Amino acid sequence: MMNKDVLNTSIEFLKGVGPNRAKLIKNELKISKFKDLLFHFPFRYIDKTKYHKISEINFNSSEIQLIGKITELKELGVGSKKRLSASFSDNTGSIQLVWFKTSKWIIDSIKLNQTYIVFGKINNYNNNISIAHPELEIYSKENIKNRTNLFAVYPSTENLNKRGITNKVFSKLVEELLISINTDIKENLPKYILDKYNLIGRRQSLISIHKPRTSDDLKKAINRLKFEEIFYLQIRLIKKNITRKDKIKGYVFNQIGDKFEEFYNNHLKFKLTNAQKRVIKEIRNDLGSGAQMNRLLQGDVGSGKTIVAFMAALIAIGNGFQTCIMTPTEILSYQHYNKFYEICNLLNINIKILTGSRKASNKKDIKESLKKGEIDLLIGTHALIYDSVEFSNLGLAIIDEQHKFGVAQRSKLWHKNSLPPHILIMTATPIPRTLAMSAYGDLDMSIIDELPPGRKHINTFHQTSKDRLKLIDFLKAEIKKGRQAYVVYPLIKESEKLDFKDLLDGYESFSRDFPMPKYQISIVHGKMNNEDKEYEMQRFIENKTQILVSTTVIEVGVDIPNASVMIIESAERFGLSQLHQLRGRVGRGNHKSYCFLITGNKKTKESKIRMETMVKTNNGFIIAEKDLEIRGPGNIMGTQQSGEMPLKVTSLIGDSRLIQKIRKLVERIIQKDPKLKNINNAIILENLKNMIDKKDIWEYIS
């Protein structure tokens, strides 16, 4: 713990900052208080104990450090091309130092024939070596003596450098901060943890990460800060889960219900997998526990999550409560509605659909029936969260593809009752284990890790545009067998900046290759009105069209067993998770299925990795791990919707073992001392109180 008042001091009052610099730093780096600056860690370190001679420099040199004098200084060019050039010499030769977009403070600060230490990156322009925007430091024996082996480089911006807040200046500000708050940095981990895991103290770790004297110092500092970061994230998540279950009571569904029994015994047309059975039992236990369920259900595409969610709905309905299923798109809402409509009629369940595009009179009737309790199961888009939608007794809310909704959107459903409904959150995007622990560690989690028998492996190929003729011939052969195909594009309109084929061009191209009346082609994209989309989708579902040219609106939910070919154009434009979701639209029937990833010849390193991964595996969890490795946690599963992941030094991939080890440690601590009343854990409890403000109970529902 630290002195909160000192850490909340504005950086304006730090020596060397002042109001103008404080405003600039806040605008550029979101640093406004002492604590923000303290935890603004370097992203790399430079060894500044080594010095070169100018004669040693070659085109292969990168960052170098020189000692010499500036012998000449002149401004060149005019307007936007104006620059400052300096001749820098030592006893072996000379080199040019260059500043573009020069500022007056640079010119005023440089003294001719003064001995400087120069540090910077070597540039090669027209076979002339120079250093652009070098760091300058007046040479003195004292400066050399006080240097650490590793010099910190901080995340910064061009505007800060231009305004004189260089990395050297920033480093000096951090040094002033460490001096001013040194005695206010208190320990926040118990001694028994420090001893057991051989961790250095908190004060030393924060000093060493900014001012490491050796690489070993830095390693120990990072290890300590990772441990602390993971420890408090995990303990907050686990405590949040416990607090939620303690504070928030849920409706008790104490019977399985006749609807569930009748469906399971008389209408279920296939055998559930062991994974599905296990998950249904987990949900049943939650619904009967008396605590409000807040469960995340994840599974790969085609693993059978939807039927599990439907059976959970049957338990709620069988106990006399209403259920809603909220989806991110109208297509997916109608997909669920059409799938469940017939069986609901057989079970005497009143099912309705509510979307934004439905007629006002129809919406009015649905809302009235819903409020009276006449509707058992309501499926819809974000239209469900409108204030005008009132339930009689909402017992279970199911969110499909939850990462498509913001936290604020989802939470509106929770307020539909005086007592929160049970929550089942579904995702077909498998979540890597360490991300699940760190982003969703406060939720109970169910994983369907088994595909139903007969689910086909999808043969995946990476091709370039030159293979198009062969692909057309292959597609014609598949259509001749009676199969259908998706063709997905990333764009609707041409972009001047991006050299990718767009949807409308693609539709015309396929229309030429597959002429009417022998072939029929549908087109679907997000800017079409709902009636037109539904019409085209229905034609494809009924096999009246053989090819569906589409954008990613078909990413989730569309289930057409006869479709055996997925062609993804400009596949380099898609993330791994999205590619896997799109591929999952085929292979849903009894036919051998194929996915073709079409890219241009120019690909980034990341896009090459994505293509290789897709060709190599159909396993969504392996793909999710690779996606996390490439993109980072902020863009996976919409975690950015609730703020950035609070991990500054921890890598969810590289530190996965450490995360799992600390998670187990935290679970043992909470199991033995749930209220953290033990004297040895007093320091943990004190820090938690400082971290967590008083919350309304609704905030414990994610």
Instruction: Give the per-residue SS3 of 287-347.
Output: HCCCECCEEEEEECCCCCHHHHHHHHHHHHHHCCCEEEEECCCHHHHHHHHHHHHHHHHHC
- The answer to whether position 219 is within a domain reads yes
- 83 has pLDDT over 70: yes
Largest CA distance in the chain: 95
What pLDDT is attached to residue 3? 54
Q: Which residues of 230-258 are buried (b: 16+ CB within 10 A; e: fewer)?
A: bbbbbbbbbbbbeebbeebebbebeebbe
- The answer to whether position 341 is within a domain reads yes
- 431 has pLDDT over 80: no
Find, among 567, 599, 596, the residue nearest to 466 by Cα. 599
Give the span between the Cα atoms of 326 and 384, in whole angstroms.
Answer: 7
What pLDDT is attached to residue 1? 46
* pLDDT, greater one: 502 or 479: 479
- CA 338 vs CA 331, 334, 343, 557, 694: distances in Å: 10, 6, 10, 12, 44
Instruction: Name the pairing type of β-strands 63-76 and 150-153.
Output: unpaired
Count Cβ atoms within 10 A of the Cβ of residue 515 and give its class: 0-12 exposed, 13-18 middle, 19 or more buried: exposed
**326 and 302 part of one domain:** yes
Beta bridge partner(s), residue 75:
84
- The answer to whether position 681 is within a domain reads no
Give the span between the Cα atoms of 399 and 411, in whole angstroms.
Answer: 11
Question: For a pLDDT cut of 90, what percent of the chain falls above it?
Answer: 40
- The answer to whether position 699 is within a domain reads no
Q: What is the pLDDT of residues 202-219, one digit of tens each?
A: 999 999 999 998 889 999
CATH (domain of 559): 3.40.50.300
Query: At residue 445, what is the residue type?
Result: M
**322 and 468 part of one domain:** no
Question: Residue length, the chain?
Answer: 702
Find, among 690, 682, 662, the residue nearest to 235 by Cα. 662
For the record, the structure tokens of 96 come out as: 């040019």
Q: List the single range of 182-191, 197-206, 583-592, 662-671 with lowest mean pLDDT.
A: 583-592
- The answer to whether position 314 is within a domain reads yes
Give the span between the Cα atoms of 388 and 654, in whole angstroms.
Answer: 48
Give the span between the Cα atoms of 422 and 510, in whole angstroms.
Answer: 47
DSSP 3-state helix, strand, coil percentages of the chain (rounded to 5)?
A: 45, 20, 35
What pLDDT is attached to residue 461? 95
- 498 has pLDDT over 60: no
Question: How many Cβ atoms are within 10 Å of 488's Cβ, its own excluded?
Answer: 27
Q: What is the pLDDT of residues 588-644, one digit of tens each?
A: 888 899 999 999 887 788 889 999 999 999 888 888 888 877 776 655 444 433 444
What pLDDT is attached to residue 643? 40
The domain total for the chain is 5
Q: What is the 3-state secondary structure (H, E, C) of 37-58?
A: HHCCCCCEEEECCCCECHHHCC
> In 529-619, which ranges are continuous DSSP H helix?
530-541, 576-583, 605-616
3-state secondary structure of 151: strand
The answer to whether 350 and 340 are in contact (CB under 8 A) is no
The answer to whether 614 and 584 are in contact (CB under 8 A) is no
Confidence of residue 484 (pLDDT cuts 50, 70, 90): very high
Q: DSSP characters for 431-489?
A: --HHHHHHHSTTSEEEEE--PPTTPPPEEEEEEEGGGHHHHHHHHHHHHHTT-EEEEE-
What range defines the domain where residue 627 resides?
Answer: 458-632
Domain termination site, one of 398, 413, 448? 448
**41 and 109 part of one domain:** no
Confidence of residue 424 (pLDDT cuts 50, 70, 90): very high
- The answer to whether position 370 is within a domain reads yes
**366 and 295 part of one domain:** yes
Can you say how many angstroms the Cα of residue 358 is from the centroid of all Cα atoms in its chain?
Answer: 33
* pLDDT, greater one: 64 or 146: 64
**421 and 531 part of one domain:** no
**361 and 350 part of one domain:** yes
Q: List the single range of 50-54, 507-511, 529-533 with lowest mean pLDDT.
A: 529-533
Angle at 297 between CA 293 and CA 301, to 5 degrees: 160
Angle at 299 between CA 446 and CA 356, to 5 degrees: 100
At 73, which helix (H) or strand (E)? Answer: strand 63-76
Give the span between the Cα atoms of 250 and 419, in whole angstroms.
Answer: 7
What pLDDT is attached to residue 146? 64
What pLDDT is attached to residue 495? 53
Q: What is the pLDDT of residues 531-567, one digit of tens each?
A: 788 788 889 988 999 999 988 766 555 678 899 999 9
- Residue 303 makes CB contacts below 8 A (sequence gap 6+) with 273, 275, 448, 449, 450, 451, 452
Beta bridge partner(s), residue 379:
325, 353
- Residue 289 makes CB contacts below 8 A (sequence gap 6+) with 250, 252
Q: List the single range of 64-68, 179-183, 410-414, 681-685 with lowest mean pLDDT.
A: 410-414
Give the span between the Cα atoms of 391 and 356, in whole angstroms.
Answer: 18
Backbone phi, psi, residue 233, to 5°: -65, -50
Over its C-alpha atoms, the chain yields an Rg (Å, rounded) of: 31
Q: List the single range of 249-263, 440-454, 480-494, 528-542 with lowest mean pLDDT.
A: 440-454
Give the span between the Cα atoms of 694 and 696, in whole angstroms.
Answer: 7
Q: Kindly compute the dihedral angle of the four CA atoms of residues 272, 273, 279, 282, in this order, to the nearest 10 degrees.
A: 80
Q: Is the dihedral of CA 501, 507, 508, 513 positive or negative?
A: positive
Q: Which residues of 538-573 are buried (b: 16+ CB within 10 A; e: fewer)?
A: ebbbeeebbbbbbbbbbbbbbbbebbbbbbbbbbbb
Give the span between the Cα atoms of 695 and 94, in whole angstroms.
Answer: 64
Give the span between the Cα atoms of 222 and 216, in whole angstroms.
Answer: 10
What pLDDT is attached to residue 692? 63
Give the span between the Cα atoms of 343 and 260, in whole angstroms.
Answer: 12
The stretch 189-202 carries a mean pLDDT of: 96
**3 and 75 part of one domain:** no
Q: List the single range of 194-198, 408-412, 523-527 with lowest mean pLDDT.
A: 408-412
**407 and 465 part of one domain:** no
For the record, the structure tokens of 525 come out as: 């994209």
Give the span between the Cα atoms of 433 and 664, in whole angstroms.
Answer: 14
Q: Is the dihedral of CA 568, 574, 576, 581 positive or negative?
A: negative
- 499 has pLDDT over 50: no
The stretch 383-388 carries a mean pLDDT of: 83
What pLDDT is attached to residue 497? 47
Give the span between the Cα atoms of 616 and 609, in whole angstroms.
Answer: 10
Confidence of residue 697 (pLDDT cuts 50, 70, 90): very low
Global confidence as pTM: 0.70
**263 and 345 part of one domain:** yes
Instruction: Name the pairing type of β-strands 150-153 and 44-47.
Output: antiparallel
Query: At residue 677, what is the residue type?
Result: K
- Tell me which range, 20-29, 437-446, 620-629, 641-650, is most confidently predicted by mean pLDDT: 20-29
**470 and 610 part of one domain:** yes
**138 and 158 part of one domain:** no
- The answer to whether position 253 is within a domain reads no
**217 and 277 part of one domain:** no
- The answer to whether position 306 is within a domain reads yes
The stretch 422-428 carries a mean pLDDT of: 86
Q: List the single range of 71-80, 164-173, 250-259, 335-344 with lowest mean pLDDT.
A: 71-80
Find, among 89, 51, 50, the residue nearest to 68 by Cα. 89
Over the chain, what is the mean pLDDT?
Answer: 84
What pLDDT is attached to residue 634? 52
